[in-house]
């Protein structure tokens, strides 16, 4: 077994944009620089949000940029049995309850923290969501970029949904089950997921699986501090000049890639990136 197993886990809700390429690159470099494996997982557990053809497009883009992965690509949509088994384990441990609150019921409570209204519902009910019982405890972790983080999930979100009323498994459960099963040791992903991490660690603890090391890559913002999006003028990834794009991403990540590399091919640039990768140089704010 390698000491380092990383992964890139995009949701196929659209094509890769520059920000997600940058995250993929950071995750890839971190794994390769450690002589580790880098796995690719398509997070299509939420079939409602999945866009037809997007997964294929993301895969072709990674190939085009030379970000090759190890092993088979995993699709969450094909892993329902594993999530079901985890849900069953949690049910047996009395770690979940069945919530029949409607969207309107939940909207009536002023705070975002679940009130615990349905905690007495131990047995399965149809058309109900399964929520994890979250008890007061502090979740701690050391992020590779953002440093020490501690959170009391009971005070920030409370009992959270791991199986949805519409019959789909929630993202948090799928991610935690997959990371554990794939033996992921290091997660490098976008900082938009930073506030999910404590919940996922809490869930890992309930499932008695190992917590990987986390590094969250700051989101790319423009001069006004706005997150890159079509509205704020984010450029779509160009197909023509991938190594220039990778060079730009590396530079933003605080890696001092020499100018001449811009005109080299992706393989040359990526080899340089592996040999010179310094995670500690990633800035806390990435301004394009
Ligand atoms: Zn409820």
3 state SS of 59: helix
Exposure of 181 in the CB half-sphere (CA atoms within 13 A): 15
Question: Tokens in use for 43?
Answer: 């997070």
Q: Distance (Å, rounded) from C-alpha 22 to C-alpha 282? A: 12
Is 29:21 a contact under the CB 8 Å cutoff? no
| Every domain of the chain and the residues it spans | 5-78+218-287, 81-172
pLDDT of residue 230: 54
Distance 174 CA to ligand 1 centre (A): 21
Query: Ligand 1 mean position to 119 CA, how many Å?
Result: 7
Closest CA to 227 of 182, 190, 273, 270: 190
Residue 70: exposure state from Cβ atoms within 10 A (0-12, 13-18, ≥19): middle
Q: What is the pLDDT of residue 288?
A: 78
Query: Is domain 81-172 in CATH 3.40.50.620, yes or no?
Result: yes
**Considering the domain 5-78+218-287, what is its CATH architecture?**
3-Layer(aba) Sandwich (3.40)
What percentage of the chain exceeds 70 in pLDDT? 97
Helix (H, G, I), strand (E, B) or coil at 287: strand
Q: Which of 196, 201, 225 is nearest to 284 (CA)?
A: 225
pLDDT at residue 234 in the model: 56
How far is residue 214's CA from residue 207's CA, in Å, rounded to a whole number?
18
pLDDT of residue 232: 53
Q: Report the separation in Å between the CA atom of 231 and the middle of ligand 1, taken as the mean of its atom positions.
A: 37
On average, the pLDDT of the chain sits at 93
Whole-number pLDDT of residue 105: 87
- Torsion angle of C-alpha atoms 115, 118, 122, 124, degrees rounded to 10: -120
Residue 103 CA, ligand 1 centroid: distance in Å = 10
Instruction: Calculate how far, in angstroms, residue 116's C-alpha sits from the geometric centre of ligand 1.
Output: 7
81-172 and 5-78+218-287 share a CATH fold? yes
Q: Per-residue b/e over 120-157, b at no fewer than 16 CB within 10 Å?
A: ebeeeeeebbbbbbbeeeebebeebbbeebebebbeeb
Distance from Cα 115 to the centre of ligand 1, integer Å: 8
C-alpha closest to that of 279 among 109, 34, 64, 14: 34
| 191 vs 110: CA distance, rounded Å | 27
Query: What kind and span of H or E run contains 22?
Result: helix 18-33
pLDDT, averaged in runs of 10, over the chain (288 residues): 91 90 97 98 94 95 97 97 98 97 86 91 94 96 97 96 96 98 97 96 98 96 74 64 92 94 94 97 89
Q: pTM (2 decimals)? A: 0.94
pLDDT for the residue numbered 218: 94
Q: What is the pLDDT at residue 1?
A: 63
Whole-number Å distance, alpha carbon 109 to ligand 1 midpoint, is 11
pLDDT at 229: 61
Q: What is the pLDDT of residue 235?
A: 59
pLDDT at 287: 84
């Amino acid at each position: 077994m390698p000491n380092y197993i990383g992964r890139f886990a995009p949701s196929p809700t659209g094509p890769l944009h520059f920000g997600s390429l940058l995250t993929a690159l950071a995750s890839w470099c971190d794994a390769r620089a450690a002589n580790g494996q880098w796995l690719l997982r398509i997070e299509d557990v939420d079939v409602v949000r999945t866009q037809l053809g997007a997964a294929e497009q993301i895969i072709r883009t990674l190939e085009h940029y030379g970000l090759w992965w190890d092993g088979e690509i995993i699709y969450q949509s094909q892993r329902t049995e594993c999530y079901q088994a985890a849900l069953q384990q949690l049910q047996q441990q009395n770690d979940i309850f069945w919530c029949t609150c409607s969207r309107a019921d939940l909207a009536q409570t002023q705070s975002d923290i679940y009130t615990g209204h349905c905690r007495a519902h131990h047995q399965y009910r149809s058309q109900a969501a399964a929520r994890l019982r979250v008890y007061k405890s502090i979740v701690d972790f050391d992020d590779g970029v953002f440093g020490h983080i501690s959170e009391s999930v009971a005070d920030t979100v409370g009992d959270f949904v791991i199986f949805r009323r519409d019959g789909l498994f929630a993202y948090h459960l799928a991610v935690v089950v997959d990371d554990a099963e794939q033996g992921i040791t290091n997660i490098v992903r976008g900082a938009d997921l930073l506030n999910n991490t404590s919940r996922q660690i809490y869930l890992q603890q309930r499932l008695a699986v190992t917590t990987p090391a986390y590094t969250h890559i700051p989101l790319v913002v423009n001069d006004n501090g706005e997150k890159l999006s079509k509205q704020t003028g984010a450029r779509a990834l160009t197909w023509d000049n991938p190594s220039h794009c990778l060079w730009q991403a590396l530079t933003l990540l605080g890696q001092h890639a020499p100018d001449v590399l811009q005109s080299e091919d992706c393989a040359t640039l990526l080899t340089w990136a592996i040999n010179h990768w310094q995670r500690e140089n990633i800035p806390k704010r990435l301004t394009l």
